[in-house]
Amino acid sequence: MPTITEQANSAFRDYEVPGVVLSGAHRPVPSEIRSLFGSIDASVKSTVVDAYGAVGDGVTNDTAAFTSAFASLPASGGVVLLTPGKSYYTTGLVIPPWCGIKGDRHLPTRFTTNTSTTFSGLGGIVVSSSGTIKLSAGSFIQELFIKRLGITFPVTDVTLFAGTAITMGGDDCRITGVTAVGFDAIVKIDPALTYLSRYIIDGLYGDGINGIIIDKPSFASSVIKDVQLWPFACQPNVTIGVLRRSGYGLYITGAQDDTWIDNIITYGFFRGVFLQATGQFNFGKVWCDYPSAFALGSGSIGLLATANVTAVTFGNLNIYGCEFGIVQQSNNTEWISVGQAHLAILAGSAVTSTGGDLRFDNIHIDNTKGFCFNFTNSGSRLFARGDVHTIASIAGYNSLGVLSLPSGAVDSFFDVDVTTDLPLASILHFTNTLNSVSIASGATISLPVAGDKFIITGSSNISAINIGWGGREIILKSIGGTASLVSGGNISLTEGNGYTFANGSSIHLAWDVVANLWRERWRSNQIVQFKQISAGVVTAVLPGLPIAADNAAAIAAGVPVNGLYRTAANVVQFRV
């Protein structure tokens, strides 16, 4: 059958794509197709599906023509080209290994913002609701428009969406520059597979009940980037309800070793991003949006991480309009880290956790109705830096506040430092008291693996502290206890051979991995002596006094206040 270089004086002379090099009336394989095959040159066979009897009217079943076109390609691979403007109907295609289909859908230059009317005249592939385009190992689709049979634009009833547009059925498959609308799912993985690795989704515009469903492990670097999952097929419909989807924008389960996901936009999905039993991969920029007028009571969540989700990082996470921003339901010690986060216009709490560890290096929360951080598991951990603005409570939601913690929460696990423009009384709200872990004194004490602040109780001497490692630093404090630390064993103190705790006193120790012991960094709130200094000369040594409340009587008595000491005569005294 004829190849693309043999199509002189045909309608394909007007087929123009980037990378085509003209040579008289002949057209070699486009350079971007060559790149998919590495070292394969222009001799790679390429053919046009019309040459095998395809009609391309959107009604006639062209499945057999595609099958014949693929059969004409060598085992080393090739590409089947579509005639621009034609719509090829199929009941389902299986693209052989290292083969592909290329259309003329150039994203986003031929896409009109916020309207589906331009879809009506687009050529591409029309798929029945019971069919799918299945990719085999190494196969690809490129610059292709795909729609479900029977869809007209703009769509006013999304219950008509059915079937799966694209099924990935083998390693190394690629989806590049594709628009697919009108399906229950835009991309799925063949259920017969146990894993799928090194797949690439690069440039995907999709409108379906579900977007991309990744439910198999990937054991080598896979890529999902430049994806917009948006109600394209329904616009410019002003009925906001039509713009919502009851499924998942991006659904990921199974180990994803070093998978990279970047520049993702989801709109209107019940779950913008859903993670389950997965980890060891990275997100770049993710944007999850939802029509805020429908958020209250919808149960919509921007990011939901369920059990066994760990070692997942986000570079930039933006969530708007959902009922809940981030919900973590993982096991404790399973972690998610976010570099930059912006959560806004939410009908409920911005961050909710029933278990797991969360870290936000810079989080901005505004216009949320509920808590900024709502934690119900005392074993969870939270680190957050950023700012909070304009929180408003409404019926059925938590009271106004930044932080809600469960009973038994400890300060070693919750580290929140945010600026805010909220009224003073609302800056930090705890539903329960935040305490440190208590450890009974004894000759040898053992610390929990997690945490860095601990309360020492009792009155025993402590000469050894277990569970130390390079880089670990701890703060030990007492509330009413009279225990002592003793130099020796694996404790080295800088001031004398002992340290006796008093009410409110504390000491900071760091583990010396070379000497294999704890070294004192500093101590505070200890009963000490003071040197009275006048004109640079020590004039007296005053008796030791404990730290007291910051009040006029304490100042007049020369009692230390906030680390700075003054007598009634205004002579500065420093602790030694």
- 8 A C-beta contact, residue 142 and residue 101: yes
* Measured distance CA(100)–CA(217) in Å, rounded: 24
Per-residue pLDDT tens for 175-217?
Answer: 999 999 999 999 999 999 999 999 999 999 999 999 999 999 9
Per-residue pLDDT tens for 215-264?
Answer: 999 998 899 999 999 998 888 766 667 789 999 999 999 999 989 999 99
Q: What mean pLDDT, rounded, does the chain reach?
A: 80
Is the pLDDT confidence value at 303 over 80? yes
Neighbours of 447 (CB within 10 A): 17
Is the pLDDT confidence value at 557 over 70? no
Per-residue pLDDT tens for 319-378?
Answer: 999 999 999 999 888 999 999 999 998 988 999 999 999 999 999 998 888 888 888 888
Is the pLDDT confidence value at 5 over 90? no
Which value, to the nearest 10 degrees, does the dihedral of the CA atoms of residues 27, 32, 37, 38 take? 110
* Measured distance CA(414)–CA(384) in Å, rounded: 9
What pLDDT, on a 0 to 100 scale, did the predictor assign at position 488?
Answer: 86
Cα angle at 307 between 339 and 249, to 5 degrees?
65
pTM of the predicted protein model = 0.75
* pLDDT band per the 50, 70, 90 thresholds, residue 421: low
Find the range with the poorest average confidence among 51-55, 305-309, 416-420, 427-431.
Answer: 427-431
Contacts of 337 (CB under 8 A, 6+ apart): 312, 313, 314, 358, 359, 361
As a whole number, mean pLDDT of residues 493-513 equals 86
Which of 15-24, 309-318, 516-525, 555-564 has maximum average pLDDT? 309-318
* Measured distance CA(573)–CA(576) in Å, rounded: 9
